[in-house]
Amino acid sequence: MEELANTTEKKEKRLKITWKMVRKVANYFVPLITPFLCFIITEFTWRVDSKGVLNSNPFVTISTKLIILNLLLFYAFWGICFSIIGRSSVASYITIAFSFIIGLANYYIMIFRGNPITASDFKALRTAFAVSGTYSYMPTSKVIIIFVCALAVAVVNIFFKFKLKKMQKIYSKILIRVIPAILCICVMFGVTSFISRQDIRKIIPDFNATLFTGNVMAKEDGLILCFASTIQYTNVDKPDGYSPEKAKKILDDNKDDSVWKTSSISKTSPDKNTFNTKAKKANIVVIMNECFSDIGILGDLKTNIDYMPFTKKMMKGYKDTISGYYYSSVIAGSTANTEFEYLTGDTMAFLPPGSIPYQQFIDQDTESMASDLRSQGYATIGTHPYVGYGWNRRKTYPRLGFGYMRFAIDMTGLKKLRIYTDDESYYKYLKNHIFYRRQPFFSFNVTMQNHGGYAGTFDNFNPNVHMTNANNQPTDNYLSLIKKSDEQFEKLIAYFKTRKEPTIVVMFGDHQPNDYVVEPIYTNKGRLVTELKGADRFERYKVPVIMWANYDIPEDNKLITSANYMGGMVTKLAGCKTSAYQNFLEKLRAKVPVICSQGYMGTDGKYRDLETIDDYAKEIGDYRILDYYNLFK
């Protein structure tokens, strides 16, 4: 019996020793594997679409080398937290929380916008929260499962952990805490700098550095690595050959406005003055219509009723109308960038992907269509029936030359459709408070009615347009909103037809809607909207533009352009003096009719990416210089 007891005691002792060793290993193994699990948590959280379908596997789409770079960032982040706090469990909690939150944030951003989160997005957080009301935030079951898994990893870290001993001596703290933290920071900066190299594709061919297809970039590189690569885009480098003197010389060479005599928007006889009205200066009304676009151009779209009959009528050859399409630099969001291009003549093509000039770069008086017209005696007015801090407009508009601003808080009589101001009450306010002026005026107005999101039902909105060759509620809602905009635009044109003062009305959308709105169109073609590339993806940035006047202007319904050119065209059509910058742009438009953040077109109408500028290197090089000069001097 005594021998049996000794044997049992020895077994128990061995088990205790074994368990102690296992626990000791686990105390290090669990915390050290946590950053790897956090990488998985982040990637699988955002790769679930709005229907709960996992649309890609990170271990399939991300190469081994890029997975290692992603892991270096996760481990460095965990290492910084551990070095500062000294407890593995707390470092793990922070890393787990960060991983799930950024994955979840990108999950929603991909649903709403179709592009991943970038470094510049943090400057737009206030505006993002302000317009978040109509979006649905109910996560899918798969996202909830991932959250439970993240919670489980956190719980395991409660039981298996290690910590740094308290140190009284300074050199010990430096050796054990400060130096490792600095090394981890160096790793993060090192990885970020490495992937920002111009020759990164030669070193790692699998690395995707094209934010043009940001959703593909995030899938192929990993979200954290994709985000880190966008940090480089928050600064703007001087273009090659830049100097203020060089910019002034280019402007001096373009003071002569004779380019407009042979412009494509002039009549066939270049010796006739085709732009001046009888009053010489016309009122200018610009309606930048929130998310107004014709998604029918993307493919087979059948509906029970026409969703924009009046707009299509105007675009088929309406009297005293120039119409066609322009290519926006943004999609499903970043409205302010279209404003920026239209008003300044600058282009997002030369600025960091994901940047918002209104928030990042316009911190001083900047030449724009508004400042040019103000110097010619125009009253310059900027209005938007929403919050003034949205996209920093209340601060930016005066810097662009607007002498008068009105936002929702300043307006009366506004009514809602869903949760945003409808076009009808907004136009009524403009008629009663803005358009009555006798002094020549330039009124730049941004609507809000059609803002995303489009999913769900609303007590004050009954959609009446429905797809007949697909079933998708967000698409029906979107098209029904466009129908209402079209109706109000028709009434606005009818209003100006009765006015004696010469007036030119310009209407264009700021961008096309979210991918989930147009998804049925591509599904009918057997394609995935998220995988469009090149010229096919470029068409997602194509938006209608209409320039109509209640006086004689040239007529053309085949305009193809971009927002940066339109301000100069409208200035000339109104009978006003164009700036040297606008004259330069009109010369450039004759050779490069389209240039935006997504690429450009030459006179042959073929799409080219921004890295292929050999055919127009001189002209685009000069444009880069003027673009930088106008923003930064």
pLDDT score, position 354: 72
The per-residue pLDDT for range 144-176, each reduced to its tens digit, is 898 999 999 999 999 999 988 776 666 666 677
Residue 604: both structure tokens together:
């042959």
Buried residues in 7-29 as b, exposed as e (16+ CB within 10 A):
eeeeeeeeeeeeeeeeeeebbee
Task: Give the pLDDT mean for 599-606.
Answer: 89
CA dist., res. 21 & res. 27, Å (int): 10
pLDDT score, position 340: 96
Packing angle of the helix pair 88-112, 223-230 (nearest 10 deg):
80
Q: Tell me the backbone φ, ψ of residue 624, rounded to 5 degrees.
A: -55, -40
For 245, 263, 341, 607, the CA distances from 588, given in Å and listed in that order, are 20, 11, 15, 16
* pLDDT grade for 272, boundaries at 50, 70 and 90: very low
Residue 293 has pLDDT above 90, yes or no: yes
Residue 437: both structure tokens together:
């002026």
Residue 624 has pLDDT above 50, yes or no: yes
Which residues, other chains included, contact 36 with Cβ-Cβ below 8 Å and sequence gap of 6+?
71, 74
Task: Give the pLDDT mean for 547-573.
Answer: 94
Residue 115 has pLDDT above 90, yes or no: no
CA proximity to 73, closest of 284, 289, 221: 221
CA 575 to chain CA mean position, Å: 34
pLDDT score, position 603: 87
Which residues, other chains included, contact 227 with Cβ-Cβ below 8 Å and sequence gap of 6+?
102, 116, 117, 118, 119
Q: Say how many C-beta atoms besides its own lie within 10 A of residue 244's C-beta.
A: 12
The per-residue pLDDT for range 579-591, each reduced to its tens digit, is 999 999 999 999 9
Place of tokens 């991300």: 62
Is residue 417 classed as helix, strand or coil in its secondary structure? strand
CA proximity to 134, closest of 576, 449, 361, 413: 449
Structural contact between residues 58 and 47, judged by C-beta atoms closer than 8 angstroms:
yes
Place of tokens 């880190």: 228
- Look up residue 202 and give its DSSP letter: H
Residue 412 has pLDDT above 60, yes or no: yes
Q: What is the dihedral of CA 373, 378, 379, 383, to 10 degrees?
A: -40
Is residue 420 classed as helix, strand or coil in its secondary structure? strand
Task: Give the pLDDT mean for 96-125.
Answer: 76
CA dist., res. 351 & res. 610, Å (int): 12
Of the listed ranges 45-49, 308-312, 339-343, 518-522, the least confidently predicted one is 45-49
Of the listed ranges 20-34, 35-49, 267-281, 553-567, the least confidently predicted one is 267-281
Instruction: Check residues 190 and 197 and name the one with the higher pLDDT.
Output: 190
In terms of average pLDDT, the best of 5-9, 11-15, 166-170, 574-578 is 574-578
* pLDDT grade for 250, boundaries at 50, 70 and 90: very high
Structural contact between residues 386 and 421, judged by C-beta atoms closer than 8 angstroms:
yes
Of the listed ranges 264-273, 458-467, 489-498, 510-519, the least confidently predicted one is 264-273
Is residue 50 classed as helix, strand or coil in its secondary structure? coil
Largest CA distance in the chain: 122
Taking the CA atoms of 260, 265, 271 and 277 in sequence, report the sign of the dihedral they define: negative
Q: Tell me the backbone φ, ψ of residue 19, rounded to 5 degrees.
A: -60, -40
Structural contact between residues 294 and 517, judged by C-beta atoms closer than 8 angstroms:
no
pLDDT score, position 528: 87
3-state helix vs strand vs coil in the chain, percent to 5: 55, 10, 35
Element (H, E) at 170: helix 170-173
Structural contact between residues 633 and 367, judged by C-beta atoms closer than 8 angstroms:
no
Residue 141 has pLDDT above 70, yes or no: yes
pLDDT score, position 8: 61
Structural contact between residues 600 and 610, judged by C-beta atoms closer than 8 angstroms:
yes
Element (H, E) at 599: strand 599-601
pLDDT score, position 198: 66
DSSP state letters, 120-149: GGGGGHHHHHHT-TTS-----HHHHHHHHH
pLDDT score, position 268: 42
pLDDT score, position 610: 80
Alpha-helical runs (H) found in 308-380: 309-314, 335-344, 357-360, 369-374
CA dist., res. 475 & res. 482, Å (int): 11
Is residue 287 classed as helix, strand or coil in its secondary structure? strand
Which residues, other chains included, contact 240 with Cβ-Cβ below 8 Å and sequence gap of 6+?
621, 624
CA 361 to chain CA mean position, Å: 16
On average, the pLDDT of the chain sits at 87
Q: Tell me the backbone φ, ψ of residue 174, rounded to 5 degrees.
A: -65, -45
Of the listed ranges 8-12, 411-415, 458-462, the least confidently predicted one is 8-12
Residue 172: both structure tokens together:
């010990």
Instruction: Check residues 236 and 102 and name the one with the higher pLDDT.
Output: 102
Element (H, E) at 483: helix 473-497
pLDDT score, position 208: 83
Which residues, other chains included, contact 220 with Cβ-Cβ below 8 Å and sequence gap of 6+?
61, 62, 66, 206, 208
